[in-house]
Structure 1
Amino acid sequence: MSTDAGPEIITIGETMLLVTPTVGEALEDAATFHLDVGGAESNLASHLASLGRCAAWVGQFGNDALGRRALRLLRGRGIDLRWARIEPSAPSGVYFKNPGHGVQYFRTGSAASLMNPGTVRDIPLEQAAVVHLSGITPALSAGCSDLADAVVRRISGSGTVLSFDVNYRAPLWDIAQAGPRLRDLARQSDLVFVGLDEAEVLWGTKTPEDVRDLLDGVPTLIIKDGDVGATEFSPTGKAFVPAMKCAVVEAVGAGDAFAAGYLDALLSGLPPERCLQAGHECAVKVLRSTGDYPLDG
């Protein structure tokens, strides 16, 4: 656990209210719905809090009922919300899960999309052990893209680990924009998580070794390959740990859980193979879940 100086881990990004049909049927046919909260960065913080870590989430909601509800839900998960803000000039973002057809976002012009470098100006990022960003944030707006760059500049050379999950979201931007931008942010990070499938979409790579060649300057690179396993490239060499086999109930959000499990083990000083194993163990909790764990955003 952290001291009063601040949280061990600071995550930055958008969290939205999530509307899901109570039973697994299409939105246009569903009669009842469940309201929850979801977002890659706050999901990570939630999982870390459940593992006993002090994790803070930085983001903002509109001054509306949805935003207040989201803050209450996040607080109930044990997340440090000291830097969560209310932005009265814009609404909270919302997204709908449409079973069998993906998700539908209503986040354009949201309160979170108005974030910019000023959002983190007075936050002591350099005092955290880890600052975590995802590739979702720079896709939200020009200001959010500038925010990501500001965080990278702040963390560089500070001793704080900059963790970056590529998290490509096709509905937010096209590959022509996303590919170079996400590659650039990854190359400036200390620790990168990327799926082998999304790396192929973004950069045309086929194998973990191809991804390593592309991001050869990243100190620690973790490449996730679904139910095959995860590969880590670091200064100590290459490590691979196969995925844990389980019946998959819900795959969405498992990547956030993997990153949380990995970071928890990393902060505990465990070796690469054990960190990867911890990531798999945390991800399986989501894969087996029927709704008790947060969903991705």
Structure 2
Amino acid sequence: MLSSPRAVCVGEGLVVLVAEPGALEDSDSFRRSAGGAEANVARVLVQLGVSTSWLSRVGDDGFGRYLLRQLGESGVDVSAVSVDPARPTGIYVKERGAGTGVGHDLPRGESRMTYFRTGSAASALSAEDLVPTVIEGAAIVHLSGITVALSASAESMSKALLASAATVSFDLNFRPALWGSRISDASSVLADHVRGSDVVLMGADEAHEVFGINDPAALRAEFPEPRHLVVKNDAHVVTAFDGSSRVDVPALTLDVVEKIGAGDAFAGGFLAGLLTGHSAVDRVRLGHLCAAGALTAHGDAAEVADPSRLAAALALPDAEWNSARFADLVAQ
């Protein structure tokens, strides 16, 4: 166990079964990988040199053992993960479009997920799963609205984190279908988590869906409590507030391969920048660079660029950053 992880990511992990391109019913084979919002963030953090623990629950099954192995081999400490003897590890199936226009095939480059997580081990997360020695030693504890939505017991766990002395990072990650019969409470519950956290990340579109607000300044006025409030908008510009100060940093130009995991990668980059003392602008730039790694590749977990190339990108003058293409910045 890491005696003092700088970051702890709390939430579910999922085994991903990726179908062959084309209609799902025509896929004869599936490629296995590891996913889940907080697990994705953890893997980005360790690539950026931040010692990180993942706190979760997995089933006592092959999929659970696979997740533990994958995260562990990535450098993430998994000693705080509980193995549930009765509930299975959650999975989801990812279908990918081949663009044939035949049957249920999706357009090329698009993907669709089907989740099998009801009754999973992670859905049984509760305050009892919080390992005090891991939580208390961390510089930051990260979770998302997905974890809050999993179940009433998972919500009780997240509230226990907010009530603790931990510095909490919260990514809104609104998934309406996950809330089920609790959907009428989602707005107020998520607002409480935003107000109770120290670092908050959200997309302008999901903020509008949950709170009826999408303008960054209006969101800051509504939620003055978190020191750091990060708003990602449809114009590919991220607005980051640190107290009363504000920076607006555009994303890099790139060719999108797949959008899955980009938000988690951004969160990992931003948090790493925060933990390692980067400037307000460079925290967002690091988030953009990590998100770009996810957007330009298949798979949930972003592959972070070489440290020397990250450093060179962070050092660019604003005018050069604003016109830069991600592929040029990471080219060998």
TM normalised by structure 2 equals 0.82
Other structure's SS at 1:171 match = helix
Cα distance change on mapping 1:97 and 1:80 into 2, 3 Å: same
CA deviations on 1:238-293 (whole Å, 9 max, x unpaired) are 11101111000011110111111111111111111111111101111111113383
Runs of 4+ deviating beyond 4 Å: none
Partner of 2:177: 171
Shift of 1:122: 3.5
Task: Supply the AA of the counterpart residue of 2:259.
Answer: A
Pairs within 5 Å for 1:111-260: 111-155=121-165, 160-173=166-179, 176-226=184-234, 228-260=236-268
Q: Does 1:86 align with 2:92?
A: no
Shift of 1:184: 0.9
CA–CA distance in 1 between the matches of 2:72 and 2:55?
Answer: 13
Pairs within 5 Å for 1:245-284: 245-284=253-292
Cα distance change on mapping 1:164 and 1:63 into 2, 3 Å: same
Task: Supply the AA of the counterpart residue of 1:114.
Answer: A
CA–CA distance in 2 between the matches of 1:223 and 1:193?
Answer: 6
Q: Does 1:20 align with 2:11?
A: no
CA–CA distance in 2 between the matches of 1:148 and 1:93?
Answer: 20
Q: Does 1:6 align with 2:12?
A: no
Partner of 2:61: 64
More helix by share: 2
The structure 2 residue matched to 1:44, chosen from 41, 45, 48, is: 41
Shift of 1:124: 3.5
Q: Does 1:107 align with 2:129?
A: no
Task: Supply the AA of the counterpart residue of 1:105.
Answer: Y
Shift of 1:91: 0.8
Task: Supply the AA of the counterpart residue of 2:74.
Answer: R
Deviates more, 1:228-237 or 1:140-149: 228-237
CA–CA distance in 2 between the matches of 1:102 and 1:178?
Answer: 24
Other structure's SS at 1:172 match = helix
CA–CA distance in 2 between the matches of 1:292 and 1:135?
Answer: 18
CA–CA distance in 1 between the matches of 2:132 and 2:272?
Answer: 26
CA–CA distance in 2 between the matches of 1:146 and 1:292?
Answer: 27
Other structure's SS at 1:136 match = helix
Deviates more, 1:40-49 or 1:226-235: 226-235
Shift of 1:98: 2.7
CA–CA distance in 1 between the matches of 2:298 and 2:283?
Answer: 25
Partner of 2:32: 35
Task: Supply the AA of the counterpart residue of 1:134.
Answer: S
CA–CA distance in 1 between the matches of 2:253 and 2:299?
Answer: 19
CA–CA distance in 2 between the matches of 1:270 and 1:181?
Answer: 31
Task: Supply the AA of the counterpart residue of 1:40.
Answer: A
CA–CA distance in 1 between the matches of 2:299 and 2:7?
Answer: 25
8 A contact 2:41–2:264 mirrored in 1: yes
Cα distance change on mapping 1:97 and 1:4 into 2, 3 Å: closer
CA deviations on 1:200-249 (whole Å, 9 max, x unpaired) are 11111131112112212221100011452100112251111011110000
Task: Supply the AA of the counterpart residue of 1:95.
Answer: Y
8 A contact 2:91–2:115 mirrored in 1: yes
Root-mean-square deviation over aligned CA pairs: 1.9
CA–CA distance in 2 between the matches of 1:195 and 1:220?
Answer: 14
Other structure's SS at 1:10 match = strand
Task: Supply the AA of the counterpart residue of 1:25.
Answer: G
Task: Supply the AA of the counterpart residue of 1:18.
Answer: V
Other structure's SS at 2:115 match = strand
8 A contact 2:198–2:225 mirrored in 1: no
Cα distance change on mapping 1:179 and 1:26 into 2, 3 Å: farther
Task: Supply the AA of the counterpart residue of 1:10.
Answer: V
Cα distance change on mapping 1:37 and 1:294 into 2, 3 Å: farther
- Count of matched residue pairs: 288
Partner of 2:73: 76
Shift of 1:13: 0.3
Task: Supply the AA of the counterpart residue of 1:89.
Answer: A
Other structure's SS at 1:75 match = helix
CA–CA distance in 1 between the matches of 2:15 and 2:127?
Answer: 24
